[in-house]
Amino acid sequence: MERLTTYSYGEILILVLLASLVLIAQSAALCWALAHLPRRRIRYLLPEAAALSVVLLTTLLLGGAWKLFFAELPPIGWLAAERWTAGLLSLVVGLTACERRLLPALLLAFAGLCSLPMMDAFLPMSAALVLLLLGVRLVLLAARARARRTREVTVSSIRAGLDLLPEGILFAREDHAAVLVNITMLRFMERLFGRQYRNAAVFWQALTAFDAPAVAEKRQREGAVLLRFTAGDVWLVQRVQLLGALPGWQLTASCVTELDAVTQELREKNEELSTTLSAQKELLQNLERTERSRTLQEITSRVHDILGQRISMLQQLLASSAPKDALRTIVRIDSLLESVPLEQEPHPATLLADMTDTYRRLGIRLTVTGSLPHNLRRARAFAAITREALSNAVCHGRANAVTITLDERRLHIRDNGIGCTELHPGGGLSGMMHRVNELGGRLTITHTPHFEIDARIGENTG
């Protein structure tokens, strides 16, 4: 008989204790698999049963043959038939279970191979290897079972998940009896009322009757209550009736502090925008009225200028001693006045040239020094003022000589008429003042002994 390597009593005892622990663990694994056995799937029990048979026989081998190990002799023929059966069963079951659990199945198959009687020459190290392989397999199965349990949806997992939510939730039956309340909702009740409620109707009634401005400001609408706490946070409590297969009530309490701040800011912005729109609308209305008034003033001034010019020219024609020249002048006056529509004036230089030519043909001595400004707006104003001044000089002042001095920012007109004792600004003089004021200038009128007009435009205007 071949002798084994010498092992001490303590080493053999440690192996027996290890085998006992693995046997206990494997028995627990078999019971767990039996308790969680899927319907009509007995094959899920076979790996655990095969592993239990192997570890049981290994424990019996180590416990019954320890004296032989101590005497350095192999246990030839000990439980040979049972060990062959258990080892081959573990080998076959392990290889067939590779599709479901590859690593645990391979560990079981290798443990079954090492437990066969043909491996007795390596005892007790082969037995220790079997225990190690089955122990590692149990650790892997326990880790997978724990991971599976963490993924399973149970009542406790639902409660734990609801307690992690930042919103408070209360579910109740149709009779308002609370079925599920998470931690956030309970803390909200404690904060607001100093107690907890297990009835949805009672809680909602207390919430709608809440009146404590020192704690929170309440705003209520149908199915919702908004609470602004003095601490600065804002909570929205809503109630919804559940219908269908699970009728009942659902109450939620959500912290909407940031949303409320954004809502308040948007409300303020809307108010500012509304105020701005109202101001702009009023400004547009004022601008429209001002534009209508300006247009009316311009039309009035132009009509006044044209009619005054026509009247003054007609007066001059009636006093003319040259009928032939008068007849040609009448034709020229008509062509001049009729060709000027109110909505479009000719160029100021053309208008001034026609006026001076017409008045000279009527016998008025016109002395023009300088030229109209290059700025079109000032040029139109100066031409309009000149037209009104010539009309007044001939019609009212009975003048027969007029001096006109022009430059870029000044217009000076003086006649030799009779002037006037008192100055009463009418449509013509008011139009002159309006045109000069629009350009930011100043108009000076001298009415005695002769009529004199001096219009000056500032350097930074026009």
Q: Binning pLDDT at 50, 70 and 90, where does residue 257 land?
A: confident
What pLDDT is stored for residue 313 in this prediction?
60
Q: What pLDDT does residue 3 have?
A: 39
CATH classification of 283-457 is 3.30.565.10, yes or no? yes
Mean per-residue pLDDT for 294-298? 68
pLDDT given at position 392:
81
Kindly report which listed range (40-44, 77-81, 357-361) carries the lowest average pLDDT score: 40-44
Q: What is the pLDDT of residue 128?
A: 84
CB atoms within 10 A of CB 200: 23
Quote the pLDDT of residue 203. Answer: 92
Q: Looking at per-residue confidence, does 288 or 7 come out higher?
A: 288
Residue 5 is predicted with a pLDDT of 45
Q: Which amino acid is at 79?
A: L
pLDDT of res. 239: 92
> What would the pLDDT profile of 370-398 be if each residue is shown by its tens digit?
999 998 889 888 888 888 888 888 877 78
From residue 149, alpha-carbon distances to 94, 144, 146, 157 in Å are 24, 9, 5, 10
Read off the pLDDT band of 410 (50, 70, 90). Answer: very high
d(CA 168, CA 200): 13
Mean pLDDT of 396-403: 85
Which residue ranges make up each domain of the chain? 9-151, 166-255, 283-457
Q: Mean pLDDT over residues 3-17, rounded?
A: 64
Say whether pLDDT at 170 is over 50: yes
Amino acid, res. 46: L
Q: How large is the average pLDDT for residues 267-290? A: 82
pTM for the predicted model, two decimal places: 0.39
Residue 336 pLDDT > 60, yes or no? no
CA distance 180 to 162: 9
pLDDT at 48: 83
Q: What is the pLDDT of residue 345?
A: 65
pLDDT score recorded for residue 65: 64
Beta strand ranges found along 58-119 (DSSP E): none
Q: How far is CA 444 from the centre of its chain?
A: 62
Q: Band the pLDDT of 79: cuts 50, 70, 90.
A: confident
Q: What b-and-e string marks burial along 417-428, b requiring 16 or more CB atoms within 10 Å of the CB?
A: bebeeeeeeebb
pLDDT of residue 308: 59
Q: What percent of the chain has pLDDT over 90?
A: 10
pLDDT at residue 145 is higher than 90: no
Q: What does the pLDDT read at residue 311?
A: 62
> Mean per-residue pLDDT for 163-191?
88
Percent of the chain residues topping a pLDDT of 70: 78
Tokens 């709608």 correspond to 208
Mean pLDDT over 154-158 rounds to 67
Mean pLDDT of 96-101: 73
Average pLDDT over residues 27-42: 73
pLDDT for position 309: 58
- List phi, psi (to 5°) of 314: -65, -40
More confident residue, 448 or 319: 448
- Which of 115-124, 327-336, 337-346 holds the top average pLDDT? 115-124
Contact 435, 443 (CB under 8 A): no
Mean pLDDT for the chain overall: 79
Q: Classify domain 166-255 at the CATH topology level.
A: Beta-Lactamase (3.30.450)
Q: Is 244 left (phi over 0), alpha (psi -120 to 50) or beta?
A: left
Using the predicted structure, report yes or no on whether residue 108 has a pLDDT greater than 70: yes
Q: Could you give the 3-state DSSP secondary structure of residue 104?
A: helix
60 has a pLDDT exceeding 50: yes
β-pairing, 401-406 vs 365-369, is parallel
